[in-house]
Amino acid sequence: MVTTSAFIVITPDAESGESSITVVDAGWRLLHNRPVLNYLRELGYGTDSVCRLISTHYHPDHVGGMAGLRRATGAPVSAHRLEAPYLAGEPGRKIPNPVKPLWLRPLFWPLMAPMSPPNFPVTTILDDGDCLPLLGGARVLHTPGHTPGSISLHFPNEGVLLVADAIQRYQERLTLPSRWFSSDMEAAKKSVQKLASIDFEILCFSHFEPMRKGARAALRSLAEFVS
């Protein structure tokens, strides 16, 4: 899907013959609930097919639409332990301004106000190494740096590694996440090294086309470059 950061994971159930849908990330508030639900409908799935929502990290272009999707589908939300209190809006926990340079923050925030994510409860807390019942078993990888509780998802049976915003792609080259929108670049480098140790073929990002060829080699090169 090109308009949002959302991923649709379709897990077939051999016994019932029906598929369960997981939506990973939900795009911007006010913009992306309808495209996600329309896309599901095009694929032949109603809102009741959605059994799980997952947040990769608490940036507004990923969780802005989560409260709306939760309302529309009734599905529970999963998120990393470090970010769940912010998503739920616990006292004293406000999702931080995603912009790092201090000079840019005051310019960005007024624009952001109408798009700031509404709070929602997180039903399932995710930790590094957790296994999710998606496509025969997906592993949660804690990959902090872009945000403190960023996660990546590894689907070993499909050879897919979904890194959300932990890595950027420029044609055949991979780079660290944007300095302007990442909380800790040293942690981001360590996360790249962790991801480079994973066995996969296809690398999926939130804002770039998937890398289907040479992705492992490209990720290893990045890991070496930043070490």
What residues line the site for Zn ion (CB under 5 A)? 59, 61, 165, 206
To the nearest whole angstrom, how small is the minimum distance from the Cβ of residue 86 to Zn ion?
Answer: 14
Amino acid at 102: L
Q: Which of 160, 123, 121, 120 is nearest to 139 (CA)?
A: 160
Which of residues 5 and 22 has its CB atom nearest to Zn ion in the complex? 5
Which of residues 22 and 206 has its CB atom nearest to Zn ion in the complex? 206
DSSP SS3 for 187: helix
To the nearest whole angstrom, how small is the minimum distance from the Cβ of residue 16 to Zn ion?
Answer: 34
Measure the CA–CA gap between 146 and 128, rounded to whole angstroms: 16
Number of other CB atoms surrounding residue 20 within 10 Å: 18
The alpha carbon torsion through 164, 166, 172, 175 (nearest 10 deg) reads 160
To the nearest whole angstrom, how small is the minimum distance from the Cβ of residue 15 to Zn ion?
Answer: 36
To the nearest whole angstrom, how small is the minimum distance from the Cβ of residue 198 to Zn ion?
Answer: 20
To the nearest whole angstrom, how small is the minimum distance from the Cβ of residue 167 to Zn ion?
Answer: 11
DSSP SS3 for 166: coil
Which of residues 61 and 70 has its CB atom nearest to Zn ion in the complex? 61
Measure the CA–CA gap between 61 and 184, rounded to whole angstroms: 19
Amino acid at 44: G
Element (H, E) at 215: helix 215-226
Which of residues 62 and 70 has its CB atom nearest to Zn ion in the complex? 62
Which of residues 45 and 66 has its CB atom nearest to Zn ion in the complex? 66
